[in-house]
Amino acid sequence: MARVLLIDDHRPARDGLRAALTRHGHIVETADSGEQGLARLRGFAAEVVVLDLALPGMDGFDVCRRLRAEGDLPIIVLTARDDDIDVVAALEAGADDYVVQPVHARIVEARIRAVLRRARRGPARPAGSEQHGALSIDRASLCVGKAGRRVRLAPTEMRLLLTLSAEPGRVHSRRQLLEAVWQHDFLGDSRLVDACVQRLRAKIEDSPASPVFVQTVRGFGYRFGPV
């Protein structure tokens, strides 16, 4: 069971999804605009946000950026377009996962359970503080630092970094990362991996265009360096 904030301006879809998630045992609060959704968060201790991108006024991308700037609340976006433009833009704005509409409620419910498992799961290997050049990773406190300064990572970015850094030099395919970080087992969501890598690089690399820590192995996937 989870406390879910559902933000969607299309009432039939919103009411149907709310009813289905409630039947699965979730506590669901709804909002029909981005502004209303952000206001509802002040009085509703949501554990996950399900957010439609096509909102009037403040759209879902802006809401996603606001939520990510304010905290680490897991975000699942709903999009009517299964193309790189909307999906990648949403992931770059900070979304943890996405679902293409129209979608059966059980798919959304499964994604909610998966994103909450990821958020609640422990470190990828026994806890301890590590130093990788200027980058420090404390697996006990889930704290990351760069040259003595704290680096704030969203939960999915943290899990990606923990997974890659657990085995420096090992090449992880996108499929392996989907399974380990997102608990997806199909390659169609490789955009999740690539967008999260870009967000992580922007936070931990001196030059994201010439990464030292999260390196691309062309044709295979990613590895953690320097190696």
Model pLDDT for residues 182-204, shown as the tens digit of each residue = 876 555 567 788 988 998 999 99
CA 219 to CA 222: how far, in whole Å?
Answer: 10
CA 200 to CA 161: how far, in whole Å?
Answer: 8
CA 186 to CA 198: how far, in whole Å?
Answer: 21
pLDDT of residue 104: 80
**pTM greater than the 0.75 cutoff:** no
pLDDT of residue 33: 95
Q: How many residues does the structure list for the chain?
A: 227
Domain with CATH 1.10.10.10 in the chain: 152-224
Model pLDDT for residues 122-133, shown as the tens digit of each residue = 444 445 678 898
Identify the three-state secondary structure at position 161. helix
Identify the three-state secondary structure at position 206. coil
Domain with CATH 3.40.50.2300 in the chain: 3-120
Cis omega (within 30 of 0) for bond into 102: yes
Tell me which architecture the domain covering 3-120 has in CATH: 3-Layer(aba) Sandwich (3.40)
Tell me which architecture the domain covering 152-224 has in CATH: Orthogonal Bundle (1.10)
Identify the three-state secondary structure at position 57. coil
Please give the structure tokens belonging to residue 21. Answer: 């998630």
